[in-house]
Structure 1
């Protein structure tokens, strides 16, 4: 479905080298996504080049970051972006796909089975509830893409990350404004802003990756319930 040579050339721009087997998996992923999307709403992007740029290149730019290693939780993963793509690119990752919508979790199980991916855990959970269970402060890395504004994302994600780990927020060109409003949340939750990395996708879309380190334990008062997080972000 996708143009594998075209995708490989685009990724080469960022020194991201994909093997033939990885390109085959991504092609299979795209086919399964578009087919399954006819019965479950997974994505509005269904053209081959749209999937290449907006889903695969975007996720591979995340996956290629040096912090993406060890145990990764992808919060609100939806159709598996960036988590499943990161697993294809770095098979050694221990991946937890966290998604509260049952139909999407069913797709993720089906997808990973069809792609033959192992070392993947599926958590049908809201992040703020998962952090009250066995997932609190156990992950090396937490990611979130198109989930919520950064102050809210901090409360969703940082309680899941171990001290010394990293929270990576995938944002658009408004990331700087969101970051300015998240200083209090970071401080309260044990996080520290490190840097923002800028990328431009092949279709011209601007992307920002906000890098935050977990420098101390999250107080037990956090995360609050989802309603409080949304109504009154830190």
Structure 2
């Protein structure tokens, strides 16, 4: 479905090398996504080049970061971006896909099984509830893409990261503004902002990766329940 040569060429400009098997898996993933999307709303982007740029390349630019290693949880995994694409690119990654919507979890399971991906766990959970259970401070890396504004997202994600681990948020053009609003929350949750890595997709869309290191344990009062997090973000 996708143009594998076109995708490989775009990736090469970022020094991202994909094997033939990985390109085949991404092509199959695109077909699964578009087919399944007819019965479950997964994405508004269904044209081949849109999937290549806004889903695959976007996720691969995340996946190639050096912090993406060890035990990772993708919060609000949705249709599998960046989680499944990252697993295709780094097969040895220990991946948990965390998604509260049952129909989307069903798709994630189906996609991983069809693509032959192993070493993937599925958590039908809200992040703020998962962080009060056995998942608390268990992950080397916590990722999130298009889930919430950064002050809210920090409270969802940082409690899941172990001390010495990282939270890597995928953001758009509003990253700097969101980061300014989130600095207090990041500190209260045991994090320390490290840097923002910015780039542009082929169509010109701005993307930013906001890197936060977990430097101390999250106080036990966090995360609060989802309603409080959304109505009164930490400052």
Shorter-chain-normalised TM-score: which range?
A: over 0.9
RMSD: 0.3
Distance in 1 (alpha carbons) for counterparts of 2:177 and 2:205 = 18
- 1:203 Cα deviation from its structure 2 partner: 1.2
Aligned to 2:99: 99
Distance 1:39 1:222 in 2: 37
Name the structure 2 match of 1:136. Answer: 136
Equivalent pairs counted in the alignment come to: 234
- Counterpart CA distance in 1 for 2:48 and 2:203 is 13
Consecutive unaligned residues in structure 1, runs of 5 or more:
none
Alignment match, 1:174: 174
CA distance in 1, matches of 2:122, 2:103: 12
Aligned-partner Cα distance in 2 for 1:35–1:12: 28
Give deviations 1:191-215, integer Å, cap 9, x for gaps.
Answer: 0000000010011111000000000
User: Using the alignment, how far apart are the partners of 1:33 and 1:20 within structure 2?
Assistant: 20
What residue is the counterpart of 1:20 in the other structure?
Answer: 20
Equivalent-residue separation in structure 2 for 1:134 and 1:225 (angstroms): 17
> What is residue 160 of structure 2 aligned with on the other side?
160
Runs of 4+ in structure 1 deviating by more than 4 angstroms, as ranges, are: none
Separation in structure 2 between the aligned mates of residue 152 and residue 163 of structure 1, nearest angstrom = 20
| C-alpha displacement of 1:173 | 1.0
TM-score of the pair, normalised by structure 2? 0.99
Q: Secondary structure at the match of 2:121?
A: strand
Secondary structure, aligned partner of 2:207? strand
Point out where structure 2 has 5 or more consecutive residues left out of the alignment: none
Any idea what the Cα deviations from partners look like across 1:165-217, whole Å, max 9, x if unmatched? 00000000110000000111011000000000001001111100000000000
For 2:133 and 2:115, locate their aligned partners in 1 and report how far apart those are by CA, in whole Å.
29
2-structure distance, mates of 1:134, 1:40: 30
Q: Deviations over 1:93-115 (max 9, x none)?
A: 00000000000000000000000
